[in-house]
Amino acid sequence: MAGGGISSFWGPVTSTTECCEKNYAYSSYIAEFHNTISNIPCIVLALVGLINALRQRFEKRFSVLHISNMILAIGSMIFHATLQRLQQQSDETPMVWEMLLYLYILYSPDWHYRSTMPIFLFLYGAAFAAVHSVACFGAGFRVHYVILCLLCVPRMYKYYIHTQDASARRLAKMYVATLLIGTFCWLFDRVFCNEISSWPVNPQGHALWHVFMGFNSYLANTFLMFCRAQQRGWSPRVVHFMGALPFVKIEKPKAQ
C-alpha cells in the first residue's frame, strides 16, 4: 500500500498484489516492514524441526519438508521487502512446491506404484514454475493453492482419527486452530483494508498470518512425523522443549 513517504531502493512496485501496510514506512530497503520480519518465526521453527529430524534420523522427506518451509519463508521475506514481480515468484512458487511435498508425505505410504507419485509431483512442480515465470495467474493462483490444500484434508483427517495418543491429537487440533486464526487475519487484512487505513494503529493482519502459518507448518510437520514414526514402529511420543514447544521423540528398534 502506497504512502510510506520514504524513497524506494527497489524502484516502483511491479508485483500484482500488495497488502494493507504502508510501503517503505521504516526503510528504503524494506517495502512492507512487518510483512517481511513476520517470516522470521517460520524460519526459526523450521530450523528447530530440521535439527530434530536430523538428530533422530527421521526419513529424509521430513528434512526436505522443513527446508522447504524455510525456503518459503525466505522467499516471502524477499517478496515483501521488494514488492517486485520477479521476487513475487520466490514467494508463490515455493508455496505450490511445499503443498506438493505435503501431498507426497501424506499419500505415499499407501501408494502402490512408488516411483510414479514423486515423478508426477516433480514434473507438475517444474511445469508450474516454468509457466508461472511468464504468466500471472492472480486469483487463479489462490484458487489453485486452495485446491492443493484441500487435497491434503482427507488424509490429514484419516491420520487424526487413527491416532489415539492424546498429545498427538492435540497437535492436530492446534494445527487446525492456527490455520483458522491465520486465515481470518489474512481475510481481515484484505477485505477491510480501506477501513484499517484510517485506524490509528494497523493490526497487521497479513503479518499475523505469517506468524500463525509458521506455527501451523511446524505443528503439521510434527504431527506427520509422529504418524510416520507410528507406521514404522518407532514408539513416538510428544515431548515439549522448555515445557512449551512440542516435538517428537522416538525410540527405534536396534535393528533399525
Residue 112 annotated in ligand binding = no
178 SS3 class: helix
Residue 23 annotated in ligand binding = yes
Q: How far apart are CA 69 and CA 85, in angstroms?
A: 21
Q: How far apart are CA 213 and CA 61, in angstroms?
A: 20
Cα first-last separation, the chain: 54
Q: How far apart are CA 30 and CA 16, in angstroms?
A: 17
Residue 202 annotated in ligand binding = no
Q: At what angle do helices 205-231 and 60-82 cross, to 10 degrees?
A: 170
HEC states along 81-103? HHCCHHHHHHHHHHHHHHHHHHH
Residue 206 annotated in ligand binding = yes
Query: Degrees (nearest 5) of the Cα angle 45, 48, 49?
Result: 90
φ, ψ dihedrals at 29, nearest 5° = -100, -10
Residue 92 annotated in ligand binding = no
Residue 119, all three cell numbers:
515423478
Residue ranges of the annotated binding site are: 21, 23, 32, 80, 206, 210
Residue ranges of the annotated binding site for Ca(2+) are: 21, 23, 32
Residue ranges of the annotated binding site for Zn(2+) are: 80, 206, 210
